[in-house]
Amino acid sequence: MRVPFGWVKEFVPVTASAEEVAHRLTMVGLEVEALEPDGDEMIFEVNVTPNRPDCLSIAGIARELSAIYGSEIKIPEHTIISGPGELDINVDILDTALCRRYAGRVVRSLTIGPSPEWMKKRLEQCGIRSINNVVDVTNYVLLELGHPLHAFDLGTIRGGQIRVGTPSRVTGNNAALAFTTLDGTLREIPSDSLMIWDAERPVAVAGIMGGQDTEVTSGTKDVFIEGAYFDPVSIRRTAKTLGIKTESSYRFERGTDIKMLKKAIDRAAYLMKKVAGGVAFGKIDIYPKKYAQAAIRVSYDKISRVLGLTLTKEDISLYLKRLGFTVKENSDYCIVTPPAYRTDVSRDADIMEELARAYGYDRILAELPLATVGMEVEDNPEKDTRERLLGDLKESFLKAGFTEVINYSFMGEQDLEVLGLAEDDERRTAVRIRNPLRAEDSYMRTMLAPSLMRNVVHNVVHGNREFRLFEISKVFLNRRPTEAGLPEERTHCAAVLYREKMQTLYRENTPDFFIMKGLVEAVLNDLKIRSWSFVRSQEPFLHPGQSADILIGGERMGYLGALSPLVTDRLDISVRKPSLMLMEIDMNAVVPYAMQELKYMSLPKYPYIERDTAIIVDASLEAASIIGWLRDYPSDLIEDISLFDVYQGVNIPGDRKSIAFNVRYRALERTLRDEEIDSLHQALVEHVLGKTKGELRK
C-alpha cells in the first residue's frame, strides 16, 4: 500500500524523519519495502499483512505511529449540519447474516466536475485515477479512513428504496443473475452473492462494484452515499467467482471497522460539500445487532514466561491502551477488550504479540533456550525409522546428482488429462479445494508426477537441456478415507531425468531407461531393501516398451520408465527427441521393508565357478520372471545370478527372443569341482526351460 508521509502527519504529529518512521513501522510488523520521493512528499510502500486490515488506510498507519511515539491521533474534520426536511429513501436489510450494518446519507444540489488539485494529487500518489469530485471523495475517504463507500445517483434509484439481499432472497430464484457493472461488463451474478437493489432491480454488487445504471455522471445532482459492513467470506467468494478485485473488495473481504461507518459517511458528506457545493441531509443507519467485541483474559505470569520480558502491570496497560485496547487490571491477570477495528485479536496469544510489537522486536534480547542434560526423550521407534529412512532416501538422490524440488500440494484436472489416466483410476478421485488460488490448482494432488511435469516444462522453457529432479512429499487419496472421513495421506518419492538427445563426445550411450533403473536400484540398495524386482508396467503415461513396475516382496510399490511420446507431445516440449524418465514410489509401503538387519560375513576363502547360458523364449516373457525362477532353484551353491543380454533379430524367430544369464557358484567350506557344477547347472537350465517352455540357444 502506498502511503504519503505528509498525509499521515495530518493525523499524528511526527517530527522524526521519513527514514526513521519507516524503520519504526517495520520493527512493529508493518514492513516498509521502499521510500519513494514525489516532489516535496515521501511515499511509503507498506507491506500490510492479511491479518491487519485496520492498517489499510492512512488512519490505520497513523494509529500505529501514535502507539509508537505516544502521541494523540487526530481524526479529520467530519462534523456536518444536516439540511431541513425528511429523507425520501428507505433501507431494508433482507440478509442480516451477510450485512450486519447499513448506513447512508443523501447529499443534494451537487455540481459534478473535476476534483481540486490537492485531492487529485493524493489519489494519484496512492495509485488511484481521478474520475470526478464526488467519486473521488468516496475513494479519498476509503484511503483516509479505510472504510469503502459508494455513491449512487439518487435520481436513478427507483421507488425511493434500497434493499440488501441475495438474488435468491429477493427474487426467490436460484438462477444466476445478469448484471452490468460500472466497467461496462455484463456479468453472471451467483444466486448466493449479496447485492444492493432499489425497488425494482439490482443496482450494485455489494462491497465490490456498483452498477452502470446508477453511476454518478456529469448530469448527477443528488447522490446517496452508501456505507456498510458486509460479511468478509461472502465478499471474497463473490469476488473470486466474478474475477473482480477492487479497492473496496480488498478491504471488505479482510474485515472493516463496523463502528467507523458513521464517521466515514459524515466525512464523505463534509468533503462533497467542500468540493462540490452540496447540501447534506440526515443519515439512515440500520444496525440489527450491535457489535460487541469479546473480552480476553491474560495472565501476567504467562506474559512474562512467553515473551521472556519483565513488564510491570503499568507497562502492560500503557502499551495496550496506546494500541486502542481497553484494559481492566486485576491482581494476577487483566481483562483486555480489543477495539472494533482489531478483528484479528481473539485470544491471549494475540495480546502477547501486541505487547511484543509495542515493546519493540528489536529490543528483545536473543537468548539460548535452557536444556536439561540427560533429559528423557519419547521413544518412538517407528517414527525414528521413518525419519531416518527419508533422510537416507534424500541423501541417496543427492549423491546421484539429483536436485530436490518443493512444490505446492495441488494439481488441476488438466494434469490428470495430460497423463491419460483412466476414468476409474483411484488417482482421479481427488479432494477438491473449495477456494483455490488458481483454476489450475483446484485439487489436492494424488501423485507427484504432475508437479514434476510442470518443473520439467519450466526448466525446458528456460533453456535447461539436462537435469535431474526429485521430490519427497505427501499425496492425498480420497478413495481410501481415514476413520475420521479425511483423505488418506501417504508419503511418495518421485524423480525425473531429462536430457536432449544430441550427438556429442564423452556421453554415455546407455539407454536412459537403464540409467533410471540403475538409479532406482541404487536407492533401494542404500535403503537396505532386499527381494525387489521389476515387471512390465501398465501405466498409461509410460512408454509400453520402456517401463516397469517396482515390486518389493511381491507387492507393487511404484513405477519407473520413459514418458510416453503422446504425453510428451501434450506437454508441448518443443525440443527434438527429448528423453524424459519418470519414477514414483509409495514410501509408506516401502518402510516395512527398509532398514533390514545387516548380516556381515567374512570374505570367501574358496574360488567361484561361473557358467553362462542363453535360452530362446517367447518374446512376451518378462526377464524378471526368468530371474525369479532361477533364484527359486533350491541350491546352497548358487551365490549370484545376473542377466547380461537380451537379443531379438537375425537367426531368432520374430515371436521369440534370446536371454543370456550368468550364474556364479561357490561353496563356503571347500573348492568346487567342474563335474558337480556342470551337473548342477544343467539341472538349473532344465528347470528354467521347463518354466519358460523355451529351448537352449545353440
Instruction: Return the pLDDT at 662.
Output: 93
* CA atoms within 13 Å, Cβ hemisphere of 675: 0
C-alpha 477 chain-centroid distance:
19
Domain boundaries, the chain: 2-69, 90-286, 296-336+346-362, 381-593, 609-696
Higher pLDDT, 379 or 143: 143
CA angle (437, 440, 446) in 5-degree steps = 100
Handedness of CA 73, 75, 77, 80 (dihedral sign): negative
Look-up of cell digits 519407473: 560
Domains 2-69 and 296-336+346-362 share a fold: yes
Residue 368, pLDDT above cutoff 90: no
pLDDT digits (tens, 9 = 90+) for 521-548: 888 888 888 778 888 888 999 998 889 9
Gap between the Cα atoms of 240 and 7, Å rounded = 32
C-alpha 513 chain-centroid distance:
34
- Domain range 2-69, its CATH number among 3.90.180.10, 3.30.365.10, 3.30.56.10, 3.40.50.261: 3.30.56.10
Judged by average pLDDT, the poorest of 364-368, 508-512, 653-657 is 508-512
Mean per-residue pLDDT, 42-52: 93
Residue 552, pLDDT above cutoff 90: no
Mean per-residue pLDDT, 247-255: 94
pLDDT digits (tens, 9 = 90+) for 403-460: 999 999 999 888 888 888 888 888 888 888 888 888 888 999 999 999 999 999 999 8
**3-state SS, one letter per residue, for 658-679:** EEEEEEEECCCCCCCCHHHHHH
Mean per-residue pLDDT, 552-561: 89
What does CATH list as the number for 609-696?
3.30.70.380
Residue 471, pLDDT above cutoff 90: yes
Judged by average pLDDT, the poorest of 30-39, 103-112, 502-511 is 502-511
Residue 633, pLDDT above cutoff 60: yes
pLDDT digits (tens, 9 = 90+) for 562-576: 998 888 888 877 656
Task: Identify which of 291, 283, 267, 269 has the alpha carbon closest to the alpha carbon of residue 341.
Answer: 291
Instruction: Return the pLDDT at 292.
Output: 85
With pLDDT > 90 as the criterion, what percentage of the chain qualifies?
A: 60
Cell representation of residue 668:
563356503
Instruction: Return the pLDDT at 532.
Output: 80
CA angle (362, 364, 366) in 5-degree steps = 105
Residues 6 or more apart in contact with residue 616 via CB below 8 angstroms: 652, 653, 656, 657, 658, 694, 695, 696, 697
Instruction: Return the pLDDT at 590.
Output: 86
Gap between the Cα atoms of 117 and 102, Å rounded = 32
Q: What residue type is assigned to position 449 of the chain? A: A
Task: Identify which of 65, 58, 12 has the alpha carbon closest to the alpha carbon of residue 322.
Answer: 65
Residue 519, pLDDT above cutoff 80: yes
- Domain range 90-286, its CATH number among 3.10.350.10, 3.10.200.10, 3.50.40.10, 3.90.1150.10: 3.50.40.10
What does CATH list as the number for 381-593?
3.30.930.10
* Contact in structure between 162 and 197 (CB atoms under 8 Å): yes
With pLDDT > 70 as the criterion, what percentage of the chain qualifies?
A: 94
Sheet harboring 195-197: ordered strands across? 90-93, 161-165, 195-197, 202-205, 209-210
Mean per-residue pLDDT, 203-220: 95
Sheet harboring 223-230: ordered strands across? 150-153, 223-230, 99-108, 279-286
pLDDT digits (tens, 9 = 90+) for 284-335: 999 998 888 889 999 999 999 899 888 999 999 999 999 999 999 999 999 9
Instruction: Return the pLDDT at 56.
Output: 95
Instruction: Return the pLDDT at 379.
Output: 60
Classify strands 90-93 and 161-165 as parallel, antiparallel or unpaired.
parallel
Higher pLDDT, 672 or 365: 672
Gap between the Cα atoms of 698 and 694, Å rounded = 12
Confidence of residue 378 (pLDDT cuts 50, 70, 90): low
Instruction: Return the pLDDT at 350.
Output: 94
| Cα separation values, 550 from 200, 469, 526, Å | 67, 19, 16
* Contact in structure between 164 and 95 (CB atoms under 8 Å): yes
Residue 92, pLDDT above cutoff 80: yes
Higher pLDDT, 188 or 479: 188
Gap between the Cα atoms of 46 and 60, Å rounded = 12
Gap between the Cα atoms of 84 and 502, Å rounded = 87
- Hey, is 175 helix, strand or coil? coil
Residues 6 or more apart in contact with residue 125 via CB below 8 angstroms: 2, 4, 38, 41, 43
> For the chain, what is the mean pLDDT?
89
* CA atoms within 13 Å, Cβ hemisphere of 87: 22
Domain 296-336+346-362 has CATH 3.40.50.2000: no
Instruction: Write phi, then psi, for 91 (nearest 5 degrees).
Output: -125, 135
pLDDT digits (tens, 9 = 90+) for 649-673: 888 888 899 999 999 999 988 999 9
Classify strands 609-618 and 656-665 as parallel, antiparallel or unpaired.
antiparallel
Judged by average pLDDT, the poorest of 82-91, 131-140, 571-580 is 571-580
Element (H, E) at 584: strand 578-586
